[in-house]
Amino acid sequence: MSTLRRMSYAGKKRKLDKTRQDRVYFDSYSDVTVHEEMIADYVRTNTYRTAILKNSELIRGKVVLDVGAGTGVLSIFCAQAGAKKVYAVEACSIAEQAVEIVKQNNVEDVVEVIRGTVETVELPEKVEVIVSEWMGYALLHESMLNSVLYARDRWLKAGGLILPSRAELYITPISDPVVEDRLYFWYTVKEQYGVDMSCMSNFARRCIKNSDIIVSNVAMEDVLSHPARFAELDLHSVTVEELRTVKGRFTCESFGSAAVNAFCVYFTVTFPCPEKPHSLVLSTSPFYPETHWKQAVLYLDSPVEVVQDTPFSGEVSMFPSEDSSRHICIHVDYTIGEQKEQSKTFSIPDWTAEPQP
């Protein structure tokens, strides 16, 4: 579940209190656009549907909690899989639409939509299954996983089912030719219009290759190595404290000669299936069909030329922003070939900023 709003004006950063952070976050899900984007994401929605139906033997006759239910589509999937009762907990006003959707699908005797946060609502009973589409950009943006872990500790019976049950984070170097073309553009203006604007190149570089986490689709031909997994989260055991900093080391080698100008971070989530050892994986890899999460692109300050088998190594750390706990920051310490280790910290652009006076 992820949404990203960009402001049309220059903003100044400021720290928001937790109540306002939550209000801004929940308000962003009150508009139809974000729900249209999520439901229209076939990879996302159909993978959840398939995972729920494949686990129908474990869901049939059981009580389910849907954390951050949105329009209620996952709750309805659970009802279709035979759940005895589904508590669809949703904090924003889209819950009103979820009630209508539940009625329209004739499952109101099974699915109960509850307006509120999972941290504040009271359920009449413990549950045997938790389902949630909690993932944000770069997996952890919006920090909704914290709510899923609260629900697990407060409401899930021992040995209960969590869908999905595992998440993994990957990093890989990339060569993005579009960015280099945009920087070179300023050298072509004189030939076209007789005005030399090549001095704009440095300004463009500072604007484009800044410290923002850029959410965009990476073409698989721009990926320069096998992906390196740097973190794994087991939703049955991970704690909120451990989410304060998710980090891990990585190593990989270049496929060939190119100019590395960014790293790409993406995630997978895994759903258990009764027919072990098989499982169902939802991947946001550049090598898999596109999702609305796309990939998180981290631009280096300057490109680095590499050749076949040039080694990459380093450590990735992910942690909440000091300005807003729901915003994710990514810090990368990295070494490319024989170069000295370099570091850079990236963050999601702040859509809660106020306009400058």
pLDDT at 11 (0 to 100): 37
In this prediction, residue 349 has a pLDDT band, given cuts at 50, 70 and 90, of: confident
> Helices (H), strands (E): how many in the chain?
10, 17
Q: Of 5, 71, 25, 2, which is closest to residue 324 (Cα–Cα)?
A: 25
Q: How many other β-carbons are positioned within 10 Å of the β-carbon of residue 102?
A: 24
In this prediction, residue 12 has a pLDDT band, given cuts at 50, 70 and 90, of: very low
Alpha helix (H) ranges present in the chain? 18-27, 32-40, 42-54, 56-59, 73-80, 94-104, 145-155, 177-193, 200-208, 240-243
Q: Where residue 192 sits, what CATH number does that domain have?
A: 2.70.160.11
Residues 183 and 299 in one domain: yes
**Does residue 357 or residue 91 have the better pLDDT?**
91
Catalytic residue (choose from 90, 128, 133, 168): 133
pLDDT at 356 (0 to 100): 45
Residues 199 and 124 in one domain: no
Residues 232 and 117 in one domain: no
In this prediction, residue 351 has a pLDDT band, given cuts at 50, 70 and 90, of: low
pLDDT mean over 134-161: 95
Residues 118 and 24 in one domain: yes
Residues 318 and 236 in one domain: yes
Strands 246-253 and 354-355: unpaired
Q: Which of 76, 110, 133 is the last residue of a domain?
A: 133
In this prediction, residue 28 has a pLDDT band, given cuts at 50, 70 and 90, of: low
What proportions of the chain, in percent to the nearest 5, are helix, strand and coil? 30, 35, 40
Residues 197 and 336 in one domain: yes
Structure tokens at 186: 């300023």
Contacts with 108 (C-beta within 8 Å, 6 or more apart), sequence order: 102
In this prediction, residue 278 has a pLDDT band, given cuts at 50, 70 and 90, of: confident
Record the pTM: 0.89
pLDDT mean over 184-199: 96
Q: Of 1, 19, 18, 28, which is closest to residue 351 (Cα–Cα)?
A: 28
Catalytic residue (choose from 90, 128, 142, 168): 142
- How far apart, in whole angstroms, are the C-alpha atoms of residue 314 and residue 140? 20
pLDDT digits (tens, 9 = 90+) for 201-228: 999 999 999 999 999 999 999 999 999 9
Q: Is residue 9 part of a domain?
A: no
pLDDT at 290 (0 to 100): 97
Contacts with 242 (C-beta within 8 Å, 6 or more apart), sequence order: none
Q: Of 127, 125, 198, which is closest to residue 156 (Cα–Cα)?
A: 127
Q: Is residue 29 part of a domain?
A: yes
Q: Domain of residue 89: give its range.
A: 18-133
- How far apart, in whole angstroms, are the C-alpha atoms of residue 303 and residue 188? 20
Give yes or no for residue 353 having a pLDDT over 60.
no
Respond yes or no: is residue 37 known to be catalytic.
Answer: no
Query: What value does the mean pLDDT of the chain take?
Result: 90
- How far apart, in whole angstroms, are the C-alpha atoms of residue 72 and residue 338? 52
pLDDT > 70: percent of the chain: 89
HSE-CB of 202 using CA atoms within 13 angstroms: 1
pLDDT at 350 (0 to 100): 65
Give yes or no for residue 325 having a pLDDT over 90.
no
Burial 239-271 (b: 16+ CB within 10 A, else e): eeeebeebeeebebbbeeebebbbbbbbbbbbb
Q: Of 184, 169, 65, 39, which is closest to residue 117 (Cα–Cα)?
A: 65
pLDDT digits (tens, 9 = 90+) for 75-92: 999 999 999 999 999 999
pLDDT at 211 (0 to 100): 94
Residues 210 and 116 in one domain: no
Q: How many structural domains is the chain composed of? A: 2
pLDDT at 34 (0 to 100): 85
Q: Where residue 44 sits, what CATH number does that domain have?
A: 3.40.50.150
In this prediction, residue 276 has a pLDDT band, given cuts at 50, 70 and 90, of: low
pLDDT at 21 (0 to 100): 56
Respond yes or no: is residue 96 known to be catalytic.
Answer: no
**Does residue 17 or residue 318 have the better pLDDT?**
318
pLDDT digits (tens, 9 = 90+) for 258-268: 999 999 999 99
pLDDT mean over 308-336: 95
Which H/E stretch holds residue 130? Answer: strand 127-131
Q: Is residue 74 part of a domain?
A: yes
**Taking the chain, what is the end-to-end CA distance rounded to the nearest angstrom?**
33
Residues 205 and 293 in one domain: yes
pLDDT at 14 (0 to 100): 46
Residues 111 and 181 in one domain: no
pLDDT at 10 (0 to 100): 34
